[in-house]
Copies of this chain bind each other. A is one copy, B any other.
Amino acid sequence: MSSDTYEKIRARIRESLPESAKVTGIEFEGPEIAIYSSSVAFIGNDRDEVKSLVKILRKRIVVRSDPTIRLDNELTVEKIKEIIPEEAEVSKIMFNENLGEVIIEATKPGVAIGKAGSNLKLIKKQTLWIPQVIRTPPIESRTVALIRSMLQKERQLQKEIFRTIGQRIHRPAIKKDINIRMTALGSFREVGRSSILIQTDESMVLLDCGLNVGNPKDLFPHFDNGNFRIADLDAVIISHAHLDHSGLIPYLFKYGYDGPIYTSEPTLHLSTMLQLDYINICKREGRPAPYSKKDIKSAVLHTYPLAWGKVTDIAPDIKLTLHNAGHILGSSLIHLHFGNGDHNLVFTGDYKFQRTRLLEAASCKFPRLETLITESTYGGVQDIVPSRYESEKTLIQVMNSTIRKGGKVLIPVLAVGRAQEIMVVLEDFISRKMIDPVPVYVDGMISEATAVHTTHPDYLNSELREKIFHQGKNPFTSEIFTQVDGYQARDDIISGGPCIIMATSGMLQGGPSVQYLKGISDDPNSTILFCSYQVEGTLGRRVQKGYREFNAMTSSGKSTPTKIKLNVFTVEGFSGHSNRSQIISFIRKVKPRPERVITLHGEASKCMGLASVIHKRLKSETRSPVNNETLVLK
């Protein structure tokens, strides 16, 4: 944005506000414009003057207290402790200096807030900080703590970053016509490296930035495509935290990206956790990691977390809204609104159009919609997934029959998503004695991912939330689960009695799950149980397809062929993906009906098959492009 336009907007705001507002500064903060005020009366209230400014400027405006009038942090903590009664069990008080907010973590948030918010009003008045009360998470996440402390430390740097981003977002639009192009960079007619480039004549955004889990040779999306120019990117939007959707965000920063990442807050936390883990895996396997911790830090500092349903300007001609996708914690459908309603696009990412034990079903109502881009992971004709009831029955049978033969059940799971779903299921069945009581070992990053889940209760489904917070029956903290640490503990489990083992990685691409497989592979009484999608090219897929031998690495680093004698089962009903009929049902029910449906994120035959059935049944234009193709959407 030219400083000229910037000055014009500032002047306009100053003119519109009364003297009494005591405006001390006007700043761009990412998509928002912040008005700093030293008037106690003006701060944090929805004033009519501000509302009419929002209407005129068509920009999001927030009012914050001028930092100089806020009470000193230590004194503020004292005040809060004075005002909030002890029985609220305040566990932590954190400051967000950029937002002028003080975050109060309490075990009993209702008590902390006080009758009709009386405590909060008092805190605001006496400290000039805006208080936010959140519930103390039942398990503390190291990742969340790490991210929060880093953001606190780098708050000045982040403020600068968002000022620059804000100026770019609010630059004036030059072109009048909206022409929209979509370039398939990754995950078209394949599973992995999700990445879609959206371009208008004004701007350019990237949807997802994933890596290829199953095929390290084609690790990257087609970033060599001529339409992709890192320096021209306005925004990167991430659907959810799995590495095939978020794994290459830090790579962008390594190569000079300096713009915003928009995603839900749980996705920020989970993807950071997975990226840090990914670097470690690369190191352990002697592969060069595509980025470093420094780049992950850059990514975190450039992330602007968005709540579902909040409409946000991300470029002069694009507005973004995230909606629940029901796939994993924080997973979002991405809705883009172009120009003055010229076109609207939804990219589903991975989604589940059915309520699960963990999450609500994906949203299917949008203000407008012309182009829908849908995943096709289970979009094939053969992908008739058994019902949830059937799947749970099978799970119980497999578990009990294995346990009763003295065997072990190994469940390779992605740390995020299926792991928590299965934990809730197992806790339920074991507590109801439908599965014989054996220890459930949880290995790898699952516990940490679970901790992140409890940090974001608002993103879980209502039943689970209710269970955790109001009935005090948190399945994740149940004593049936034992966290495993280190090689020795694993050997003890392997040589021990019947048990259930949940371990990463979810597709047997290294990690503890492979160590367990090696340990129990010659036990015909044990079972390996797949509950999540196995990408082509992974060991998980090979075992699932019936390969009965694999190369295990010995402790001395030698590779020895190992026979697989244990039982192999796949239970698909727990998938976080919509099955074929759920996809079709989603497209039938989505409001308004899209004119065009584009399929991606599935094996070639599934993407094309799904496109064909959608065309036949719904008469929409359907496309199933391959990577590197560019479609003109409008």
Contacts and interface: CB of A to CB of B under 8 A. Distances in A.
Interface string A431-442: 000000000000
Interface stretch (A224-232, A269-277, A298-306, A314-322): A224-232
Interface stretch (A341-349, A379-387, A625-633): A625-633
Interface string A394-416: 00000000000000000000000
A588 interface: no
A474 interface: no
Contact of A228 (B183, B226, B625): B226
A43 B106 CA distance: 96
A179 interface: yes
A181 interface: yes
A183 B229 CA distance: 17
A540 to B, nearest CB: 27
Interface in A227-273: 227-229
Nearest to A201: B224
Contacts of A632: 625-629
A179 B627 CA distance: 11
A628 B630 contact: yes
Contacts of A229: 226
A632 B188 CA distance: 12
A181 B628 CA distance: 8
Nearest to A197: B226
Interface in A606-630: 625-630
A186 to B, nearest CB: 14
Interface in A182-236: 183, 225-229
A328 to B, nearest CB: 31
A280 to B, nearest CB: 33
Contacts of A228: 226
Contacts of A631: 629
Contacts of A630: 183, 227, 628-630
A226 B204 CA distance: 12
A39 to B, nearest CB: 49
Contact of A225 (B227, B625, B627, B628): B227
Nearest to A232: B226
Nearest to A627: B632
A428 to B, nearest CB: 48
A628 B632 CA distance: 7
A494 to B, nearest CB: 43
Interface string A28-72: 000000000000000000000000000000000000000000000
Contacts of A628: 179, 181, 630, 632
A631 B629 CA distance: 5
A220 to B, nearest CB: 14
Contacts of A625: 632
Contacts of A181: 628-629
Contacts of A179: 628
Q: Which of A181, A183, A628, A630 has the most CB of B within 10 A?
A: A630
Nearest to A631: B629
A631 B184 CA distance: 11
A627 B179 CA distance: 11
A266 to B, nearest CB: 34
Q: 9 closest A-B pairs (Cβ-Cβ)? A: A226-B227, A630-B630, A226-B226, A626-B632, A629-B632, A629-B630, A628-B632, A181-B628, A629-B631
Interface of A: 179, 181, 183, 225-229, 625-632
17 contacts: A181-B628, A181-B629, A183-B630, A225-B226, A225-B227, A226-B226, A226-B227, A226-B229, A227-B227, A227-B630, A625-B632, A626-B632, A628-B630, A628-B632, A629-B629, A629-B630, A630-B630
